[in-house]
Amino acid sequence: MDVLNKDQVKALFDKEAVLLGTENGVPDYRVAVLFGKSAVEHAHRINTSRPGYYANGYGIGDYTLNALTFRGFQAAASFFNVQLLRKEAEE
C-alpha cells in the first residue's frame, strides 16, 4: 500500500469499521493487516494519554475485541505513512 491522505484514510476507515457498542472501530487485527503491528502498537501507546480516544474494546463476557477509534486509525495510518516516507528518504 502507498501513503494515504486524509480522505483516503477516512474512506478506508468507513470500509473497515464495525459497530462496537455505540461507536465504530476497526479491530486491531484488521489494522495490523493494513498498516502493520507496529502501527497498532503506536496507537495503543498514545492512547494512554487519553484512554478510549484512540483505542477501545468491546467485551462479551469471555472475549474482548480490541479496536481503534477513528482517531486511532488515523494515528496508525500516519505511523504507516511516516515509515514509508522515511524508507523512501533513506534510499
The one-digit pLDDT tens for each residue of the chain (91 residues) are 899 999 999 999 999 999 999 999 999 999 999 999 999 999 999 998 888 899 999 999 999 999 999 999 999 999 999 999 999 999 8
Question: According to the model, what pLDDT value does residue 46 have?
Answer: 94
Exposure class string for 60-82: b at 16+ Cβ within 10 A, else e: eeeeeebbbbbbbbbbbbbbbbe
Q: So what's the pLDDT on residue 51?
A: 81
DSSP string, 21-75: TTEEEEEHHHHHHHH-HHHHHHHHHHHTTSTTTSEEEEE-SS-EEEEE-HHHHHH
pTM: 0.94
| Contact present, 9 and 77 (Cβ < 8 Å) | yes
